[in-house]
């Protein structure tokens, strides 16, 4: 099985989070400890993955377009409206900032691509959080941030329209907007991804075990084939990720991970002798 990229892990986590809002899903997960705090924890971990950026950000490849899952009309409505918000304001903001504020344009769209369907939630979430940091002149936008935000307001992306976008997100989750835009090291980003993925693996095992309805499982992002197989592989992956997260948090800053050591150092003496004898 091919290794999942960080983007694919974030997409799967997002789909699980959106599916958990379905009343029938939530009701079947509640006997296993599912609460509003569970959703908030998942959203926080997902946000931590997307909010971090490196000093030289690299745009992620566009996510595969996918139509939103149709629930009842009240639940379905925010995602298409977020699509419309993204399709209108992403191109305008990028074009408006490209010449006068190229560095700010790069930072605003770091790790954010224009998508369609549930994946647009991630992009709009980070876009709006970064607009707030830009207006306040916070890192990484700096002193030019307020002037760049004013330019976007003159192009039509006013504070009122920004608030309207936030209201759409509030209908999907209740979580406070981040007040800072942290610059994370590659190791810190890896820790955040592993923490998010540990949450996903835990609740994916619970959901696939507790829920029998194939339609609900599909809305959570699970294929019928995956449901037919025992979730032991996911449990083993969860154990591995949990250990990895704990080791990353406990390791002193600047020290190397055991995984980065040459393989010969990880082998015992007898194993090294065996490998030398083999032809």
Helices 78-98 and 120-135, packing angle to 10 deg:
50
pLDDT of res. 66: 34
Structure pTM?
A: 0.53
Q: How confident is the model at residue 162 (pLDDT cuts 50, 70, 90)?
A: very high
pLDDT of res. 248: 53
Q: How confident is the model at residue 131 (pLDDT cuts 50, 70, 90)?
A: very high
Going from N- to C-terminal start, the domains of the chain cover: 1-52+184-251, 60-179
Tokens of residue 122, six digits: 């991630």
Tokens of residue 147, six digits: 């002037």
| pLDDT value at 227 more than 50 | no
Q: How confident is the model at residue 201 (pLDDT cuts 50, 70, 90)?
A: very high
Helix, strand or coil for residue 89?
A: helix
Q: Are 151 and 96 in contact (CB under 8 A)?
A: yes
pLDDT of res. 67: 33
Cβ partners under 8 Å of residue 237, min gap 6: 201
Q: Are 180 and 44 in contact (CB under 8 A)?
A: no
- The pair phi, psi for residue 40, each rounded to 5°, is -60, -40
Helix, strand or coil for residue 53?
A: strand
User: Is the preceding peptide bond at 140 cis, omega within 30 degrees of 0?
Assistant: yes
User: For a pLDDT cut of 90, what percent of the chain falls above it?
Assistant: 38
């Amino acid at each position: 099985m091919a290794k999942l990229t960080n983007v694919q892990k974030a997409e799967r986590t997002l789909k699980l989070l959106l599916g958990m809002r379905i009343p029938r899903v939530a009701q079947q997960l509640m006997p296993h400890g599912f609460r509003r705090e569970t959703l908030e924890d998942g959203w926080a971990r997902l946000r931590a993955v997307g909010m971090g950026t490196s000093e030289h950000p690299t745009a992620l490849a566009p996510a595969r377009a996918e139509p939103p899952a149709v629930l009842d009309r009240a639940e379905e409505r925010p995602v298409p409206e977020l699509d419309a918000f993204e399709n209108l304001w992403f191109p305008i903001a990028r074009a408006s900032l490209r010449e006068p504020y190229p560095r700010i344009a790069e930072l605003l769209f770091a790790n954010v691509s224009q998508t369609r369907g549930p994946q647009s939630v991630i992009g709009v979430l980070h876009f709006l959080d970064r607009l707030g940091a830009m207006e306040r002149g916070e890192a990484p936008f700096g002193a030019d941030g307020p002037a760049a935000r004013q330019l976007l307001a003159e192009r039509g992306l006013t504070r009122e329209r920004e608030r309207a976008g936030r209201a759409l997100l509030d209908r999907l989750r209740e979580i406070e907007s981040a007040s800072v835009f942290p610059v994370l090291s590659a190791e810190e980003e890896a820790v955040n991804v592993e923490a998010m993925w540990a949450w996903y693996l835990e609740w994916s095992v619970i959901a696939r075990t507790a829920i029998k309805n194939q339609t609900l499982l599909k809305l959570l992002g699970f294929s019928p084939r995956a449901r037919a197989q025992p979730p032991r592989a996911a449990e083993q992956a969860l154990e591995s990720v949990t250990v990895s997260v704990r080791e990353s948090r406990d390791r002193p800053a600047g020290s190397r991970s055991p995984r980065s050591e040459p393989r010969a150092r990880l082998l015992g003496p007898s194993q090294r002798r065996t490998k030398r004898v083999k032809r």
